[in-house]
Structure 1
């Protein structure tokens, strides 16, 4: 285990602080990074995420894909949690906090905007970073790929109707460029590269040795990604700390609640830990590129909805690291490893 993996939480914390400092001290640098964007996908961040995903894709054995159908429970949990529970609990928490608990702290118009942003987050399960969390919990690479792929297919058909229902608007324009580009960048290309690498290396021992060499670079990519994300949003954090803290409350409750629901269900159904951990983590994290893009297109760049989706980005990494640590500590409680 590299020094980056051993003290990952510390490095990520330092990356957050460094990102905010850089965003404040060198805004021109941050603006240059922000400008490298296609269809709401930042290309600099995309390269780093690709570096994180690639080592896991090297571990995807095509021969094992036919065996994933023997474990339907993990996929069923993922689909039920992501599409029948998560969007609606996020909407309910948004209403509870911004129309009841925080009613004296937030103007009604702003509250409606924040609720809209939370709904967009809840309806967009993660595509890219799930591979990172799965790798950190020693998840089954082939099964994680299956879960993400099925999720992406469902998202194409279910995202707009669910958002339209919960927001009460019908003219939802799904940014297909963002959705398709993200799937290609974060799933298709790393998978092709991983399969090509396996074919070139041939022997299982050489594949394992290669993965051990490139795996630390994935962690470095995660740290650099956090620094850039916090650099891009550093000024927002400093300008509106109270609002960000308020928005973070329902997101935190949702994240830990959804993880607990999926993880306990997997435990009760005796799903192996290598499937159960990624299964629970997929529902916990969000496809923030899609959520941010839709928020901007529906409500505007400076809207409260867009801000709420950005807070989702800021909250996600620390939350996911804490859940990865919990999943690793509780691996031995599962009857099947």
Structure 2
């Protein structure tokens, strides 16, 4: 298979993300009044769901949801091993390993630099981050590694459905167990509804209507490509908003940002290696193994940031921890993509599963 040529945006993805992060911090410092007003805008009074971020996330996720053909789930029975490994890493290993690493590092290893109250917040934030498997950006990572798009679609679709059921109880259990914080389940359920259920239903409804009216080929070859710039712009603007809202935290707690990144990086590389290794052990084809490893490594950071803000506030340590996840997400995922591309020959003789 020929190596895929990257577009201009894909080739410099890390640069665009970095520029948006810097721009967000600068905006937060330059016009704090405007940023404060935007940060205080909520979807509903007392919801703690930030309206600008909600709109941007919907603009980013709905086009991705429109790509998900849930009918394709029935075909996964022909090659179930890759999906089972992905689900095992995402829901059995990932959130619990993150809770363990966060507890060890923030409670003990970094205790000299972090107060117990800050440790509670950082543990909560990293758990929320790990409990939300990546959705939108997985399609980019799969593309960069020549992953099987149909199987990636199934992996994402199944993860979305499971997230509707498991995200709330896992976050509630682990945050309450690993820290002294209490998770208000009504707010968490509201966040899941706003950032998973609504985009999922809107995307599925639009897909069904467009396919019936214009045909599948028109939608996939003409309509969805036109939405790509909107999706990218929404992603970058989301990062600008997030970093503007967190500018004081980031500049005031630079050392903490570095410390928070340590357990996140550790568990990300551990989980991606575990998923990739299990795929190889069970003779899963490379085009399934690579996206599986990437899904196991990355996070649905849009939902994580929004949930942390909804639960603990935009200036909380939990929100800062999820933002650090955003900070390391793209460079880390690009490095995992690079490793997958360089080791694809490991799978050349493997039998499909």
TM normalised by structure 2 equals 0.78
Which has the higher mean CA deviation after the structures are superposed, 267-276 or 237-246? 267-276
Task: For residue 37 of structure 1, give the secondary structure of its aligned residue in structure 2.
Answer: coil
The answer to whether the 8 Å contact 2:91/2:131 transfers is: yes
Moved beyond 4 Å, runs of 4+: 126-138, 287-303, 324-333
Displacement after TM superposition at 1:245 (Å): 1.1
Match of 2:184 in 1: 173
Q: State the partner residue of 2:273.
A: 260
* Residue 22 of structure 1, CA deviation: 1.5
Which of 176, 182, 204 is residue 164 of structure 1 equivalent to?
Answer: 176
Aligned to 2:52: 44
Shift of 1:242: 1.0
The 8 Å contact of residues 46 and 185 in structure 1, kept in 2 or not, is answered as no
**Equivalences for 1:73-222 in 2 at 5 Å?**
73-126=81-134, 129-130=137-138, 133-134=141-142, 138=147, 139-140=149-150, 141-167=153-179, 172-174=183-185, 175-202=188-215, 204=217, 207-222=220-235
Q: In the alignment, which residue of structure 2 is the partner of 1:246?
A: 259
SS in 1 for 2:112: coil
Correspondence 1:234 to 2:247 = yes
3-state SS in 1 of match to 2:250 = helix
- Going from structure 1 to structure 2, the CA distance change for 1:230 and 1:96 (only over 3 Å counts) comes to same
Q: Work out whether residues 21 and 239 of structure 2, in 8 Å CA contact, stay in contact via their aligned partners in 1.
A: yes
Could you tell me how far apart the structure 2 residues matched to 1:151 and 1:28 are?
36
Counterpart-to-counterpart distance in 1, 2:94 and 2:233: 31
1:157 Cα shift?
Answer: 4.3
- 8 Å contact 1:127–1:186 — kept in the other structure? no
- CA RMSD of the aligned region, Å? 3.4
Task: Please state how far the C-alpha of 1:113 moved relative to its aligned partner.
Answer: 4.0
Structure 2 unaligned spans of 5+: 1-5
| 1:24 shift after superposition | 1.4
Alignment partner, residue 3 of structure 2: none
What's the CA shift for 1:50?
3.2
Summarize the alignment of residues 268-287 of structure 1 with structure 2, pairs less than 5 Å apart: 268-287=281-300
> CA offsets per residue over residues 201-230 of structure 1, 9 Å max, x none?
315366324333333432333222222222
Distance 1:96 1:154, change over 3 A: closer
Compared CA separation, residues 313 and 203, structure 1 to 2 (3 A): closer
Equivalent residue, structure 2, for 1:64: 72
How far, CA to CA, are the matches of 1:16 and 1:202 in structure 2? Answer: 39
TM-score under structure 1 normalisation?
Answer: 0.82
Quote how far apart the aligned CAs of 1:178 are. 0.9
CA contact (8 A) 2:210 2:219 kept: no
- What is the aligned partner in structure 2 of residue 11 from structure 1? 16
Unaligned runs of 5+ in 1: none
